[in-house]
Amino acid sequence: MTTYSDDFLKTVLKRTRRIAVLGVSLNPVRPSYYVARYMALKGFDVIPINPGHVGEEVFGAKVLGSLSDVEGPVDMVDIFRRSEHVGPVVEEALTKFPDLQTIWMQIGVINEEAAATAAARGVDVIMDRCPKIEYQRLFGELRMGGFATGLISSKL
């Protein structure tokens, strides 16, 4: 597992405002759907990208077909694709967004070559992590029930 300091992850999440989510699903039980939805609910400007759903709407935004279809800059590209498909995504992101700050590869997505390409351009890279999980963990939003939070009634 790739390790990142909590300070680094917090910095990335605090500076990020606009996220292009590549591979977003319109199926609410899929991780790419609920991660993107969560980030949108937290105030991030989420741009859903999936060539199979172009023009459809999800959490108030139109689904685009590719990163090239995005108007304006983005701070982060969050990638829901298999590791072997990440290289061209990173190349497209670096070409399209000259001021891109972060490439974020979801849990299970690791591509060292693509990461090195992005890092060589000064872009921070996070692999094998989920921004939703990290946001919840780092900003105190993980919910624990019962004994862990002291919510068990003393009358039991």
Across 1-7, average pLDDT: 86
Q: Give pLDDT, residue 2.
A: 75
How confident is residue 143, by pLDDT bands cut at 50, 70 and 90?
A: low
* Main-chain phi, psi angles of 48, to 5 degrees: -80, 135
At residue 93 the predicted structure's pLDDT band, cuts being 50, 70 and 90, is very high
- The stretch 96-105 carries a mean pLDDT of 98
- Collapsing DSSP to helix, strand or coil, 43 comes out as coil
pLDDT digits (tens, 9 = 90+) for 6-21: 999 999 999 999 999 9
Q: How far apart (Å, rounded) are the C-alpha atoms in residues 47 and 54?
A: 12
- pLDDT value of residue 144: 54
Q: Of how many residues is the chain composed? A: 156
Residues 150-155, mean pLDDT to the nearest whole number: 37
- What percent of the chain stands above pLDDT 90? 86
Running DSSP on this structure, what letter comes out for residue 90? Answer: H
Cα gap 4→88, rounded to integer Å: 24
Q: Per residue in 27-85, pLDDT tens?
A: 999 999 999 999 999 999 999 999 999 999 999 999 999 999 999 999 999 999 999 99
pLDDT class for 153, splitting at 50, 70, 90? very low
Measure the CA dihedral 129/79/10/29, to 10°. Answer: -70
| Predicted confidence band of residue 140 (pLDDT cuts 50, 70, 90) | confident
Task: Report the C-alpha gap between 14 and 112 in whole angstroms.
Answer: 25
Question: In degrees rounded to 5, what are phi and psi of residue 129?
Answer: -140, 165
Is domain 6-140 annotated with CATH 3.40.190.10?
Answer: no
Query: What is the residue extent of each domain of the chain?
Result: 6-140
Cα angle: 118, vertex 122, 128; to 5 degrees: 45
